[in-house]
Structure formats: structure tokens, C-alpha cells
Amino acid sequence: MPLFWRRSKLDLDRSLDHPHSDLQHLLQSLGVSDPNRWFDHWLDRGIDSVGQELWPTDSTAEWLWWLAVPLLTIAEAVPQGTRHLIGLSALPGCGKTTLGRWLDHAAKELNLSLQVVSIDDFYWEGPALEIAMQGNPWGVPRALPGSHDLALMQRSLTAWKQGEAVDLPRFDKALRNGRGDRSGWFQCDADVLILEGWFLGCRPLDSQASVDCGADHLNPPIQPEELSYRRIVQNQLERYQPIWDLIDHLWQLSADDFNAPSLWKQQQESNQRRERGVGLTSQQVDRFIRMVLTAIPSISFESINADVCLAVDTCRRLSRISLHCCDQDSLSSDSLTG
């Protein structure tokens, strides 16, 4: 049982009396003027008993109250029939997939019009994915910019934003011996859609920036073939910008330590092998981690223009909230009416 369930009374009582200033500012940006009433509202809706089994046992209260419930608050505020696309950017393994599963479950339990999809669900089908990933120096089977069917993604999201019910793909990473493949489709007709991905919101480097910038921390140093492929990735990132432009509000989980995905990915693959009986080998995990660290300069993640940024430490604890939007009211309920 997650920590915030075991200690909920003590922590929630303290939160009600002395809400964290970061949370207060976030709630204000969402149009919530009274944090106490907000807490009571969600407790009355039974939020503390929704999907307990979906959270890891070491989850802390901040995941619920700083991130999950604020996202549900947006879904609750969006007028029926108004489409609102929220982006969630986070490095691999930090917990965004778990969060997405819980949000999907909670939305159904609470009758909220919200669904979650990953950019990974838009990977090319197996044969096309193999072609797209040929020649990358890390030998990864997916995940790089260029591994997604962008025409399908843009067509689907655009139609959804125009009010249509659309069929979105699902991708199962356990298929093809862990290389993954498209596994089916699901209908999306929710008013709020959360689109998550590990490089979501990343933009190409400024024309004056060198492609080898942000490589000083790498050990071993970045290799010539990796540097060469960075240029390909930069060109691919340009093709994602029309997708990012569809996003109404962008949230980011920002790692305090850019090397944290090394630990997170190893844990993630270990869990998949235990639960599904298949996953990447240790060598494949090492190559994947190296790709994450080298394919896109770290400065690209640091400069994501997120409306809300939550810092995550290596233990996946949320430590602070930053609002990067210039207008504090830009996330309020008044802005959710379209």
C-alpha cells in the first residue's frame, strides 16, 4: 500500500493546515482559491480510495496531491464538449506510465472525461519500425525521434481537438520478444486528453548552438557516431513541432539528476520481466540508457517551455513545483473554456 495511504490522516491534516507554498501557487494557477475546500472536495469524492493497487508501494503523497489530483481538477473544470490537450513530458522510467494508468482508472471511477495516450502508442508497426531504427549507433529498437507515425498522430489529435471521436493505437512493448509492436486500437472521445512522452516538448537546438553542447557530463565521452546521429535527431525533432503546437498546456517532470534514468530504466525493465516474462536484456538496457543520455542534448530538456514543472529526485520523489508560464491565470478554469 502506498505511503500516502498508510499515513494519509497525519499528512492530509497537516496539508490542510499548512499547504505547501508550491502547491498553493499551482492551485491558484488552476483557479483554486481555497486549498482547504479543494482537499475536502476530493476527499468527499473518495480520492483516497481510488486505484490504491495501481501505485508502487513507495509512492508518496506528492504524486497524488501535487500532480494526479491537479490534473483531475483540470478535467473537472473543462466544459463538456471543449477539447483540451495536456502534454506530460518526463524522462523514461520516472513513473509517467504508472501515473497514466492511475489517471485512466480514476477518471472512469469518478466519471471524468479524461483519457491518456503515449506518443509511444504511435510507434510505427513492427516492420516499419525496424526500418526507421536502422543504423542508429545504440541499436535501440524504438524510442528515438523518427520512430513514430507522425502523420497518424497529427491527423488523430487534430480530429480529436475538432470534437471527433477518434481511434488511437496501442503499442505493446512486450511483443516481438521485447522489441514491441502495435497491439490494437481504442476509442478516444474524452474532453481532456493527456499525451505523454519522454522527449515531448523538446525543440531543435538554436541555429547558433553546437550539436555537441551539453556533452561534458557524459562518461564515456560522446562518440563520433553518436554525435553524427545527434544531427539526424535534430532534423527529426523539427518534424514533431506541429504536434507540440497542438498542446494546450505542458507539464514536465524534470529529473534533478539527468543520470537518474539509468536507475529508473533498469528497475522498469526488471519489473516488466517479472510481470510479463519478457523485456530488454541487460545489454539492451545499457544501450537504451546511453541513447537517452546522448541522442538529445541535456539542454533541450532543461529548456522545455513547460507551464508546470515538477522536480523529481532519483528516488522518484517530487520535491518542488515551478510555474513557468508568464501569466499565472493561464491555467485557470477561465482559460479552459476554449
pLDDT in tens, 173-194: 889 988 999 999 999 999 999 9
Angle in degrees, 0-180, between the axes of helices 224-244 and 150-161, rounded to the nearest 10:
20
Buried b (16+ CB within 10 A) or exposed e, 131-170: ebbeebbbebbbbbbbbbbbeebbebbeebbeeeebebbe
pLDDT at 329: 44
Q: For 61-337, CATH number? A: 3.40.50.300
How far CA 194 is from CA of 76, 89, 138, 144, 272, in Å, comes to 14, 10, 29, 20, 23
* Euclidean distance between CA atoms 216 and 219, whole angstroms: 8
When pLDDT is cut at 50, 70 and 90, the band that residue 315 belongs to is confident
When pLDDT is cut at 50, 70 and 90, the band that residue 270 belongs to is low
3-class SS at 77? Answer: helix
Residue 283, pLDDT above cutoff 90:
no
pLDDT at 69: 98
* Euclidean distance between CA atoms 69 and 42, whole angstroms: 8
pLDDT at 331: 57
pLDDT at 16: 40
> By mean pLDDT, which of 5-9, 139-143, 247-251, 277-281 is the weakest?
5-9
If one compares 208 and 323, the residue with the highest pLDDT of the two is: 323
Residue 72, pLDDT above cutoff 90:
yes
Give residue for cell 494546450.
248
CA 35 to mean position of chain CA atoms = 25
> By mean pLDDT, which of 113-122, 206-215, 280-289, 324-333 is the weakest?
324-333
Angle in degrees, 0-180, between the axes of helices 8-17 and 35-44, rounded to the nearest 10:
150
When pLDDT is cut at 50, 70 and 90, the band that residue 11 belongs to is very low
Chain mean pLDDT for the chain: 88
How far CA 80 is from CA of 115, 186, 325, 337, in Å, comes to 14, 21, 25, 9
Q: Are 120 and 182 in contact (CB under 8 A)?
A: no
Q: Mean of the pLDDT values across residues 232-254?
A: 98
Report pLDDT digits (tens) over 192-226.
999 999 999 999 999 888 888 878 888 899 999 99
Give the DSSP H or E segment for 155: helix 150-161
Q: How far apart are the two ends of the chain, measured CA to CA in Å? A: 39
How far CA 22 is from CA of 61, 257, 315, in Å, comes to 14, 21, 20
The residue ranges of every structural domain in the chain are 61-337
Sheet of 249-255, strands arranged across: 114-118, 192-197, 84-90, 249-255, 308-312, 318-323
Q: Are 35 and 334 in contact (CB under 8 A)?
A: no
pLDDT at 277: 65
> By mean pLDDT, which of 156-165, 295-304, 317-326 is the weakest?
317-326
pLDDT at 5: 43
Give the global pTM: 0.90
Give the DSSP H or E segment for 172: strand 166-172
* Euclidean distance between CA atoms 113 and 189, whole angstroms: 8
55 grid coordinates: 501505485
